[in-house]
Amino acid sequence: MPYTTNDIRRVEEKWQSYWETHKIFKAEMNEKKQKYYVLEMFPYPSGKIHMGHVRNYTIADVIARYKMMRGFNVLHPMGYDAFGQPAENAAIKRGVSPSEWTYKCIDDMRIGLKKMGFSYDWDRELATCDTSYYTWNQWIFLKMAERGLAYKKASPVNWCPSCATTLANEEVIDGACWRCKNQVEQKDLDQWYLKITHYADELLEDLKKLNNWPSRVVAMQENWIGKSFGADIYFKVKGSDAMITVFTTRPDTIFGATYVTLAPEHPMVRKLAKGTAQEAAVEAFIKKSINVSKSPRMSGEERKEGVFTGGYAVNPVNGETIPVWTGDYVLMGYGTGAIMAVPTHDQRDFEFAREHKLPMRIVIQDPANKDITPEQMTQAYVDEGLLVNSAHFDGTPNEEAKQKIAQWMEKGHMGRVSVHWRLRDWLISRQRYWGTPIPMIYCTGCGIVPVPYADLPIKLPENAPITGEGGSPLAKVPEFVNVKCPNCGGEARRETDTMATFFDSSWYFLRYCSARNDREIFDAKEAKYWMPVDQYIGGIEHAILHLLYSRFFTKFLKDIGMVDVPEPFDRLLTQGMVLKDGEVMSKSKGNVVDPDEVIAKFGADTLRMFILFAAPPEDQLEWNPAGLEGNWRFINRVWNSVETRYAKGAVAGAVLDAQDKKLEFERHGAVKKVTDSMEGGFKFNTAISGVMVLVNAVDKYKVTVGNAHQQAMYNRAIETAVQLLAPFIPHAAEELWQMMGKTDRTVAGVAWPTYDEAALKTDTVKMVAQVNGKVRAEFEVPCDADEAYLRPIVLADESVQRHIAGKEIKKFIVVKNKLVSIVI
RNA sequence: GCUGGAGUGGCGGAAUGGUAUACGCGUCGGUCUCAAAAACCGAUGUUCUAACGGGCGUGUGGGUUCGAUUCCCACCUCCAGCACCA
């Protein structure tokens, strides 16, 4: 009887319900047991689960089940990243409330997750839009505000006119909104920021601890934080007391500075131009540069535009007077918004200088081209060399001069050694409804007053008009806005901005540690036990922001004594995309495969197995219906083997014949292979192939009718195969386990099989002989045979003889149990 | 440009110094059947040869080694991320 579609449905429903009612996967703190925390990046509840979710969570589930069989106390929770804009869009489009829409989606997702048979502790399920969760967002915000890490600042922000909201720098991609792809504008607004830069050094330093993260993720974070060493240099403005501070990573080139360039937004630009012939030109240039959204300015392909400001500055190291320009290739947001231009040794300065006919001076000599003049240069010389035209530094190697000149300037008050970062503070204000209200109050008398902790939570009002236009919906709810000042009792207004949703996902892994705690954010003792997350699994798209923010929050919560780990995620696995016909599966491309349909036909086990077997977890996975059927066939073969050839109660004898030994060899070998594949970085594809090899051997093993010994040998081998398959195809494994009469425990709770090295040793071994690196013959020889034994046998071989052909043997190399290499 | 990764049969992939292509898919042949499907058995890198046997073969070119998919050097191609960050 094959494993029919009806069997699949019956078996899968049976075991899903068994696991749930018996709370097989409930996690409880137990100091005596070693814990293992497996976590997948929780989903945004937008509807049903898709193949990307299925892959992500199947990977996590196999790890969780495997670790449980290995005896760990496993925490494997699930929840929903439930605040966000799609809920508001749905509200506008369909007239349902964001809350109603979101909870409906959560219900749909939960059904999909349960159908896959994932081993979650459902008692810890959470949704970030629940008041019981976002209360603690507000708590964290207030704690940060107390320490000056949450602050309000008027500043130019990225404004998406289509979404009518501000965006973090991270949410602007090539000058467009990451969500709606419309052009982003610059606008001055009062906004809340989190001071992530306070942790810049720690966030960078501690990357060294993340040895079990993919190197590219670490590299991306390093890049994003962007620490640059160099010097700030002070240029006096000619004819005034004003000063321009520039930042450079190349203080060794200071004697080659032939002009200074300011970002168009730099406050000195207008001051310098005032009253000069350049005033009108400068004004026009500022207008043009600032109004143009960031994208063309940042694209790097544009010609470098700029104008002379009309002012001059003095190079502090040589007293030289040089012109001050403003140019669009200098960014206000990095460094000091001002640079010293050294066209001979910086490609951007070189292009700008050529474009605007500015002077150049060589200060680092190209050893291969010593006599070149600036006029002959076709590009900046940016490699190493000795300093020239640099007063008493002439002849110094430039790498050495970087430090020497910076220190010399610092001593002479011409500048100072400095460090600048790319990382900026995190803008979290959103003019949106479906998010956590920021717990702040504006009082005309007292100014900005934090909501007292006792007044939390500040609940989202249910009746806010959501139109997608005209700013924050909360501002249109008078009962929400109008409030008494907690300080003086006078009339006051609530903050109507909500928090960016990345805030919610920056600490949810901590909430899972005690998800039902209604007295505090989480139980510190539970967090101490469960943290850090041992294995985190998710998409590469979160390599920078989500992971950086989570690391930031963990460091903050450590500083206030809530957690004791410096980093939240010990190991990180970034799973690859699911493709169909070479393209990423997506609704917009119309090439999605619905997990539900696959489950209906082949079952969740087959789907799980296909996804794990078809590619290593980090690689892209090409959807392949034929492969899926192959995996279904395999499950069927195992099912048939148990159903038709397994017989309970057989007892093995003590003596093993050659066939028995071969089977035991395969059985122990498979345990080793699967265990090694799991331990060595979760190579599920090779783990599964290991079980397939065993099943092939089991099928070949012959049981003579009535031979109890052989029956017992057979039983043992197929039992091991089912155990090894339990993490991968849990439903079928449970059913087979039961069919084999193992009713005292579920296979999910049974111990992972072990192997015996002795069983992997055979009496004889096949060896090959190479002559000059080419295989010429095969031999069956006793295990561990040495050269004295092998030499006469190998040399007597006809094929070996032919290839030696009377020539002198220079070397005779024996690699134990593998090969003999003869060199002639 | 910078950073990270990858290049192996018809396809997904395996092997991290020792018989390249495990395992699966596909294809071909066979058994069973009135027939088909399913299932099972066998073959399957390429090339020369009637056969026995041999040559070639892991992106390209070098190197180290008795032996290289694996280590080293140079290059090519592709993918991903960042990008006028001074």
Residue A173 clears pLDDT 70, i.e. is over it: no
Q: What is the pLDDT of residue A2?
A: 63
Q: What is the 3-state secondary structure (H, E, C) of A353-411?
A: HHHHCCCCCCCEECCCCCCCCHHHCCCCCCCCCEECCCHHHCCCEHHHHHHHHHHHHHH
Residue A175 clears pLDDT 70, i.e. is over it: no
Interval A545-593: pLDDT, tens: 999 999 999 999 999 999 999 999 999 999 999 998 888 888 878 889 9
Q: What is the pLDDT of residue A292?
A: 57
User: Which nucleotides of strand B come closer than 7 angstroms to any CB of the protein?
Assistant: 3-5, 11-15, 18-20, 22-26, 38-41, 53-55, 66-68, 80-86
Q: What is the pLDDT of residue A298?
A: 45
Of A424, A410, A406, A422, residue with least CA distance to A230: A406
Query: Å between A342 CA and B45 C1'?
Result: 58
Q: What is the pLDDT of residue A170?
A: 61
Provide the H-helix boundaries in A588-728: 595-602, 604-613, 625-645, 658-679, 684-700, 708-725
Does the CB of A627 sit below 7 A from strand B?
yes
- A47: tokens are 């509807």
Q: Percentage of chain A with pLDDT > 90?
A: 73
Of A778 and A131, which is predicted with more confidence?
A: A131
Interval A294-353: pLDDT, tens: 444 444 445 688 999 999 999 999 999 999 999 989 998 899 999 999 999 998 999 999
How many whole angstroms separate alpha carbon A676 and alpha carbon A50? 31
Does the CB of A226 sit below 7 A from strand B?
yes
Interval A490-499: pLDDT, tens: 999 999 999 9
How many whole angstroms separate alpha carbon A258 and alpha carbon A776? 73
* Cα atoms in the Cβ-side hemisphere of radius 13 Å centred on A314: 13
Mean pLDDT confidence for A729-746: 93
Does the CB of A402 sit below 7 A from strand B?
no
Q: What is the pLDDT of residue A168?
A: 67
State how far the alpha carbon of A707 is from the alpha carbons of A71, A347, A645, A654, A742, in Å: 36, 83, 13, 14, 22
Q: What is the pLDDT of residue A294?
A: 47
Of A302 and A224, which is predicted with more confidence?
A: A224
Phi and psi (nearest 5°) for A236? -75, 145
Q: What is the pLDDT of residue A300?
A: 44
Residue A181 clears pLDDT 80, i.e. is over it: no
How many whole angstroms separate alpha carbon A805 and alpha carbon A800? 8
- A699: tokens are 């099928």
Q: What is the pLDDT of residue A293?
A: 47
Task: Give nearest nucleotide to A223 (CA–C1').
Answer: B82
Query: Å between A219 CA and B76 C1'?
Result: 25
Task: Give nearest nucleotide to A340 (CA–C1').
Answer: B86
Interval A2-44: pLDDT, tens: 678 788 999 999 999 999 999 999 999 999 999 999 999 999 9
Q: What is the pLDDT of residue A70?
A: 97
Looking at residue A541, what DSSP letter applies?
G
Per the DSSP assignment, residues forming a β-bridge with A578 are: A621
Residue A97 clears pLDDT 80, i.e. is over it: yes
> Which residues 524-563 of A interface with strand B at a CB distance below 7 A?
540, 543-544
Q: How many residues does chain A have?
A: 824
CB A711 within 8 A of CB A647: yes
Classified as helix, coil or strand, A806 is: coil
Interval A785-800: pLDDT, tens: 888 898 888 888 888 8
Residue A772 clears pLDDT 90, i.e. is over it: no
Peptide linkage before A343 cis (omega within 30 of 0):
no
Does the CB of A766 sit below 7 A from strand B?
yes
Mean pLDDT confidence for A506-528: 97
Q: What is the pLDDT of residue A174?
A: 63
Interval A232-278: pLDDT, tens: 999 999 999 999 999 999 999 999 999 999 999 999 999 999 999 99
State how far the alpha carbon of A461 is from the alpha carbons of A12, A39, A199, A475, in Å: 42, 32, 34, 11
> Which residues 15-34 of A interface with strand B at a CB distance below 7 A?
none
First to last CA, chain A: 60
Of A801, A804, A802, A758, residue with least CA distance to A783: A758
pTM: 0.93
Mean of all residue pLDDT scores within chain A: 91
